Amino acid sequence: MARLDGKVTLITGASSGIGQATAVHFASLGSWLALNGRRKDALDQVAHLCHDKGVPKDKVLVVVGDVCKEDDVVAIVNETLKHFGKIDILVNSAGILKNGTTENTPLSVYDEIMNVNLRSIFHMMQLAIPHLKKTKGTIVNVSSVTGLRAFPNVVGYNISKAGLDQLTRTAALELAADGVRVNAVNPGVIVTEVHKRGGMTEAQYTQFLEHCKTTHAMGRVGTTE
């Protein structure tokens, strides 16, 4: 992967999982980082990992905020611009998973999933795009295989990721003339905390990962690295 020296990357969901791994990897490539999440203690730990990769302390900004709160999203972008003066890369990694079927998913749960996995990303992109046009930057949206193929008992997650894929395609077409690239990544099952946060017990998660060995072409699930 090309070096990212001096490029400013804003990463949501940076306190754990794919967002954390992205932050640490980008740090190893020389990127300056704005790390967003809701837990300052976890973000501070990620910032420390980024420093260990050689990024100076003043080039890693911790921005605590909830991407579902409009004022927080505005503050996240503004604090990044105040500290660094620009945004080159936006990585939308914040996301949640909740179990539920079309028949039994409460509307409150559906709304929660859509707010985190789609609406917040739409808002973040809207605010970042004017600045990405100036830097000829790029947007990376962390989607899922569920955006391409439906799976039972995660209907809200399926819909949110399919919507995110379509948002990505639309924005890519709209922004190409401005030199802004917009892409999504659609990983299969990755070992993170998202499934257990979504309601799986430890035993259920272990069984799920074992079953996934039979559904993934390489015979294994993925890791954040």
DSSP notation for 14-50: TTSHHHHHHHHHHHHTT-EEEEEES-HHHHHHHHHHH
Please state, in angstroms and rounded to a whole number, the distance separating the CA atoms of residues 64 and 177: 33
Strand partners, 184: 141
Query: Cα 40 vs. chain centroid, distance in angstroms?
Result: 17
Residues in the chain: 225
DSSP notation for 88-149: -EEEE-------B-TTT--HHHHHHHHIIIIIHHHHHHHHHHHHHHHHT-EEEEE--GGGTS
User: 3-class SS at 9?
Assistant: strand
157 given a catalytic annotation: yes
Tokens of 199: 């309601």
From 55, 157, 158, 182, active-site residue: 157
Active site residues: 157
